[in-house]
Amino acid sequence: MKRRPIIPTGARILSLIVIFLPLMALLADPQSGWDFHVLLLDGRRAALLGRSLIFSAGAAFFCSLAGFAAALGFFSQERWAGFRWIPLVLLALPPSLHALAWDLALSRANQFIGNIAGLRIAHEGWGLALWVQVMTLLPLSLGFGMLGLDRLPKEMLEAGRVFQNDEQVFRKLAFPLLRPWIIGSAALVFILSLTDYTIPALAGCTSYALEVFSEFAAGHDPGRSLLLSIPLLLPVFFASLLILRPLRLLLRSPGHAAGKSLRIPGGRRWWFTRAGLLLLAIQLLVPLVMLGGECGSWRVLAQSLRDSRAEILYSILLSSTAALLALIPAVFLSGIFRKRATQPGMAMIALLPLALPASLIGIGWSRLAMIVAPDSGVLRAFLPVGALSSRFAAVAILVLLAWSSFFDRDSFDALALFRESRLMAWIHIGIPLALPALGASAAMVFAFSLTEIGASLMVLPPGRMTLSVRLYNALHYGATAQVAALGLILAAICLGAGAIAVCLLRRKGPL
């Protein structure tokens, strides 16, 4: 008799419906105008789209290059083997903190250079936005590089080393196998850069993603905003296809295969590995040093903590609730409780909300509330949680997918023979084994929810503000000691959540 799956297909389909609920609300909204003429971009919007595409492509190129150089640098130093995954904690730092830190750094540089040579570095522009974007997403490319290097086949490398030197083995064997990871990293950075307007806006630049937000704020026409997003969604769709191969490799490869078998060639031609490590050190030190120096004293930090305690508690409450809710569809869609999880088709579809403009998710949830219960205060209070869980359920799915590639299903099946049913086996054996992965997924969703701005601006109830939104608004009025203190508080919470996630994943997981 054929066994029924632990999680039926209906539950997975229902999870997809919940995740895509805001987009369904946009399509069903009776107030949508559906003016298809907006698809014919005028000169201004076409220029915006062109600049946004160039900006995102540049961030993808430089970020993936620097991230993989840093990953090679870590693998070339055996004494750093135990610290390879620690820099991934920096992925939890919000973009606004990097923007604030580099604004402070440029101010100090202008004071120094201006006194000597009378020169001045601009505090705004696409060049600054590109640099901050690369610094923000550098840990993401580093993580892709680590996963790719850690999954190189050990036997192939050792066989190639018999006939070729280390440099030839790396160029002819290792690098072709790493190419999907490099391309996937660049594609993900491209998507996140194209759909997020916060860093360009802080640098004084207008991106196409900001146009979607501004259009809805001006006309409150959800259909027009959705149509206006289509020019963004087309390149996002094609870039998403490039991420599928590394995800499949992650599920099918055993992991930790190369280890010490990969020898990074030395010599002057490999200087870029040291450059990657240097950029990673800069990415860590500049925010902490500049924010700490601007804050000045513990009194300013304590005063900011007292003044913002309402926003801190509200942000923690929203992020914690969103993290727990995001686990439900993530568990159903990631396939960790299925006998085979090597072809998670529905999980691939569920990753798409992460590639959508954040403001579009917020617009969808706000319009859903207007359709279902426009006068419900309870539903209005739940909107931020719904927006965060819909947007970042994909993060939990990615973490669980990575963990499922390390789960020993054969051993689980052997232990399950002593249980009454497969469901009881999962309750008594599978779920306890998956607790570190579930905790890491929740911690990552918590950290990303704390830093979210685009969707939150659309759904926050009147009189409520999260810590990240307060910091984002304060940055438009210049960097002060109080703003730096807010940044340090947010950084401490986010880094703590990121550290918990990395520590949990290192317990018999993908790290």
Scan for tokens 């809805």, then name that residue. Answer: 216
pLDDT in tens, 474-511: 776 665 788 888 888 888 888 888 888 888 877 655 55
Q: What is the pTM of this model?
A: 0.85
- pLDDT given at position 8: 59
Task: Compare 5 and 405 and report the one with higher pLDDT.
Answer: 405
Asked if residues 120 and 199 have their Cβ atoms less than 8 Å apart, the reply is no
Scan for tokens 């569920």, then name that residue. Answer: 350
The superfamily in CATH containing domain 50-295 is MetI-like (1.10.3720.10)
pLDDT at 77 over 70: no
pLDDT in tens, 360-372: 888 888 888 888 7
- pLDDT given at position 267: 55
Residue 210: pLDDT band (50, 70, 90) is confident
Closest CA to 103 of 471, 508, 489: 471
Q: Which whole number is the average pLDDT over 30-53?
A: 82
Residue 249: pLDDT band (50, 70, 90) is confident
Residue 2: pLDDT band (50, 70, 90) is very low
Asked if residues 145 and 180 have their Cβ atoms less than 8 Å apart, the reply is no
CATH class belonging to 1-30+296-511: mainly alpha
Residue 61: pLDDT band (50, 70, 90) is very high
Amino acid at 447: A
- pLDDT given at position 264: 61
Q: Where in the chain is the domain with CATH 1.10.3720.10?
A: 1-30+296-511, 50-295
Reported as half-sphere exposure (CB side, CA atoms, 13 A), residue 136 has a value of 28
Residue 1: pLDDT band (50, 70, 90) is very low
Task: Compare 172 and 48 and report the one with higher pLDDT.
Answer: 48
Closest CA to 233 of 32, 451, 58, 53: 53
Mean pLDDT of the chain: 79
DSSP 171-229: IIIIHHHHHHHHHHHHHHHHHHHHH--HHHHHTT---HHHHHHHHHHHH--HHHHHHHH
Q: Which whole number is the average pLDDT over 250-265?
A: 56
pLDDT at 159 over 80: no
Residue 422: pLDDT band (50, 70, 90) is low
Of the spans 58-72, 210-224, 251-265, 345-359, which averages the highest pLDDT? 58-72
Scan for tokens 């990673």, then name that residue. Answer: 280
Q: Which whole number is the average pLDDT over 12-41?
A: 79
pLDDT at 122 over 50: yes
Q: Which whole number is the average pLDDT over 16-20?
A: 83
